[in-house]
Amino acid sequence: MSIEYTESQLRLYEKLCRDLGNTILQSLEVTDINEIMVNPDGKMWIDSSKEGLVQAGELLPQQVYSIIYGVAGIRDFVVSQHHPRLEADLPCYKAMKNERFTAQIPPIVSGPSFTIRKRSESIFKMEDYIQTGRMSKRQADVLRDLIKERKNILVCGGPGSGKTTVTNALIIEAINYDKTQRFLILEDLPELQCKALNVVAMLTTNDVSMTALLRSAMRMRPDRILIGEVRGKEALDMLKAWNTGCPGGICTVHANGAEEAIQRILDLSMESGLIAPPLQLLSQTIDAVVSVTRQGNQKGFIHEILSLKRYQNGKFDFEKLD
């Protein structure tokens, strides 16, 4: 299905293509390239699964500013000294396919910079993870059981570790198990891919927070609530939602391991103004933590799968499932 653009959209999109330049546009079409980064010093770096991080030239500050302001204008955002950060997605036009775009300008950086993170063009299934050595047969069986039993799963890992692609594989398993489920997907930027028959995907805006989306989702008769990434006080609302009649949730969080992921959720929950961490609620809600890592230039390796058992003697007890 072709997309029809207005004349004003075409002008904006064409200008953005010119500003991005051939190197970036061509990199967007190379399947093994994951991210394109321009640092405040103007140096451009490209991260690929074959070669890792490679410097790929330099951009002048005015070109970087033009790119940032171009994306902001297309998405009706304002970037200025008072609003020096931008999180948006590129349009779907020519080489661009709604990639995640994160940018900063002074005074929070010494010069304009941005990162483009590409969406995965293909969805990896459990079998793909097993065949490529990223997941053992035992780990796949454990994850399938967790999905079948509608356990709440926290997927953790560092930036670029492959958390989203693993989550997409878990979503496929959930759909295969029960095609009649109603999925509510909540994200800041569209990255999760769900082919369910009954699905509603919602995105945050400058005026609508993840907390607001979670509260709306609870009134929309969800079977599973999936969250692209929790990174604020909405962590508490997520725990409450999963704990009150809506099990089977999946969420990602930036953390290097299970214990760090649990502590991260507690810390984020405290941002809601709690006077004490919700230890009991968390121990009753999070059933399993899946730790994802990179190995060299490759991402999406399952390091371990742990079950969160209980909180006692000042710490959480985990049970290794894989």
Sheet order of strands, 85-89 included = 52-58, 43-48, 33-38, 113-117, 100-104, 85-89
DSSP string computed for 22-49: HHHHHHHT-TTEEEEEE-TTSEEEEEET
Domain boundaries, the chain: 7-117, 126-320
The residue count of the chain comes to: 322
Gap between the Cα atoms of 113 and 45, Å rounded: 11
Task: Kindly report the pTM of this predicted structure.
Answer: 0.85
Looking at domain 7-117, its CATH architecture is: 2-Layer Sandwich (3.30)
Q: Which fold has domain 126-320?
A: Rossmann fold (3.40.50)
Q: What is the largest CA-CA distance in the chain?
A: 65
**Per DSSP, what are the bridge partners of residue 198?**
182
**Contacts for 274 with CB less than 8 Å, ≥ 6 apart:** 236
- Amino acid in position 209: S
Contact 13, 6 (CB under 8 A): no
Q: Do domains 7-117 and 126-320 have the same CATH topology?
A: no
pLDDT of the chain, 322 residues: tens digit per residue: 567 889 999 999 999 999 999 999 999 999 889 999 999 999 999 999 889 899 999 999 999 999 999 999 999 999 999 999 999 999 999 999 999 999 999 999 999 999 999 987 668 999 999 999 999 999 999 999 999 999 999 999 999 899 999 999 999 999 999 999 999 999 998 899 999 999 999 999 888 999 999 999 999 999 999 999 999 999 999 999 999 888 999 999 999 999 999 999 999 999 999 999 999 999 999 999 999 999 988 999 999 999 988 877 778 889 999 8
